[in-house]
Structure 1
Amino acid sequence: MSSETVTERDSAAIVRGLWSALAQRDWDAAMNFLADECIYVDMPYGPTLAARGPHDIVKRIKVGFEPLAAYTNHDGVLVAHGDDVIYEHSERWEWASGEVAVLPFVTVHRVVDGKVTLWKDYWDAATLINSAPATWMDDLAKADTSWVFDATGLF
């Protein structure tokens, strides 16, 4: 018999559901997995460039995903312990201009009452920057930043 609790199985299923929705770029479905107070932090950029709440988190994710011709999430190890879920995976980003980036990730989630309340992505920004089209950084500078939330000290 597994020592895993129903809560941990549920938390793992919620995180897998979120990533399945993201892989399909189903933004409405992705938002359904996020708590109203959820904080998303892209750890290479830190808490001052976080996003909070389902709508702003999706706006933030779209900054990276919308310019892509194709996106694939490669499933990996997922470990749940209580409310915390750690997910090791990789993402393949493909641009219409032919550039491809394969990004290894470790993502940490906190799941409370059936919703993700904290989402932290750990990855190497240089891998993406070195693989992206030459115009990518300029395009990011022009992107919608209405989602920016300073989460300093909140997690």
Structure 2
Amino acid sequence: MSEDAADATRTVMAFLKAMETLDYDRAVMLVADDCEYTNPPPIGTVTGPAGIRAVLQPFFAPTLENEFRVLRAAQSGAVVFTERLDRHKLADRWVELPVTGVFEVRDRQITYWRDYFNAATILSQWPAG
């Protein structure tokens, strides 16, 4: 694995670890100002650290604990693919969501992040609010 690929993978794993603990300050330090983050509808696309935080922080508000299990990871240069099982502990249960993520990294910052999952799987289990 080239140093660039190793850096890209380390950056993505560090980002996921920070998000797992809901350490938004640490997580967004790994995101470029022009990063494009896309989720399936109805969530859509946002840009940059502030956009990512604006989507994720309120969404994860009812979460008591998170676990992002990376089942498989692969990279090609600056592109990192992850197959994950995102687990979220709510007040009364754990919610699990299979996710595939695609990340692009430049200069140890995420410049592109797109997650693929069935939105109905998570939204049907998530508290309204």
Q: Given the alignment of the two structures, is residue 55 of structure 1 paired with residue 73 of structure 2, yes or no?
A: no
Secondary structure of the corresponding residue to residue 124 of structure 2? helix
Aligned partner (choices 77, 83, 89) of residue 78 of structure 2: 83
- More strand per residue: 2
Q: Given the alignment of the two structures, is residue 11 of structure 1 paired with residue 12 of structure 2, yes or no?
A: no
Q: Is the 8 A contact 1:101 1:131 kept in 2?
A: yes
Aligned partner (choices 111, 114, 124) of residue 120 of structure 1: 114
Q: Is the 8 A contact 2:72 2:83 kept in 1?
A: yes
Q: For residues 16 and 124 of structure 2, what CA distance do their matches in structure 1 show? A: 25
Q: Given the alignment of the two structures, is residue 45 of structure 1 paired with residue 39 of structure 2, yes or no?
A: no
What do residues 79-125 of structure 1 show as CA deviations (whole Å, max 9, x unaligned)? 110111001111112221x1432100000001112110000010111
Name the aligned partner's letter for residue 27 of structure 2: A
Percent sequence identity over aligned pairs = 26
Q: Is the 8 A contact 1:99 1:132 kept in 2?
A: no
TM-score, normalised to structure 2, is 0.92
Q: Is the 8 A contact 1:44 1:124 kept in 2?
A: no
Secondary structure of the corresponding residue to residue 17 of structure 2? helix
Q: For residues 63 and 42 of structure 2, what CA distance do their matches in structure 1 show? A: 21
Q: Is the 8 A contact 1:72 1:92 kept in 2?
A: yes
Q: Given the alignment of the two structures, is residue 103 of structure 1 paired with residue 100 of structure 2, yes or no?
A: no
What do residues 51-97 of structure 1 show as CA deviations (whole Å, max 9, x unaligned)? 1111221121112211212222112211110111001111112221x
Query: Which aligned runs of 4 or more in structure 1 are off by greater than 6 angstroms?
Result: none
The number of aligned residues is: 129
What do residues 135-155 of structure 1 show as CA deviations (whole Å, max 9, x unaligned)? x1xx1xxxxxxxxxxxxxxxx
Q: Is the 8 A contact 1:99 1:131 kept in 2?
A: no
Q: For residues 76 and 45 of structure 1, what CA distance do their matches in structure 2 show? A: 26
What do residues 24-55 of structure 1 show as CA deviations (whole Å, max 9, x unaligned)? 11111101110010011013437xx3111112
Q: Is the 8 A contact 1:44 1:122 kept in 2?
A: no
Q: Is the 8 A contact 1:7 1:82 kept in 2?
A: yes
Q: Is the 8 A contact 1:44 1:123 kept in 2?
A: no
Q: Tell me the equivalent position of 1:65.
A: 60
Q: For residues 99 and 56 of structure 1, what CA distance do their matches in structure 2 show? A: 28
